[in-house]
Amino acid sequence: MNNKLEQIIETYPDVEFLKADGFDKAVIGVDLQHYRLIYDYDLAIQTLVEDDGMTLEDAIEHFDFNVLGSLRNDDEYPIFIMTDFD
């Protein structure tokens, strides 16, 4: 678990956050309107490359299909944002 995720859980002890398994290092914040974890897309991809040994291309394809493709668009699921457009 990363320090940011630990801080969020400590700050909101009564909230049961739905987490994206294996991407704790990519948590960057919390949506205060619906209390959803916010993940950085690039950090999630980096996690697949570093922890699972995927190539960058394989990590993007895997993540987009298996993670983003499985999320419903409602107020319970985590949010993934992209901040680097280079």
Residue 74 confidence (pLDDT) above 80: no
pTM of the model: 0.88
**pLDDT top residue among 27 and 86:** 27
Percentage, residues of the chain above pLDDT 70: 95
Closest CA to 36 of 82, 79, 1, 83: 79
**pLDDT top residue among 1 and 43:** 43
**In this predicted structure, what is the pLDDT of residue 70?**
82
> Measured between alpha carbons, how far is 68 from 80 in angstroms, rounded to an integer?
8
**In this predicted structure, what is the pLDDT of residue 39?**
97
Per residue in 5-25, pLDDT (tens digit) is 999 999 999 999 999 999 999
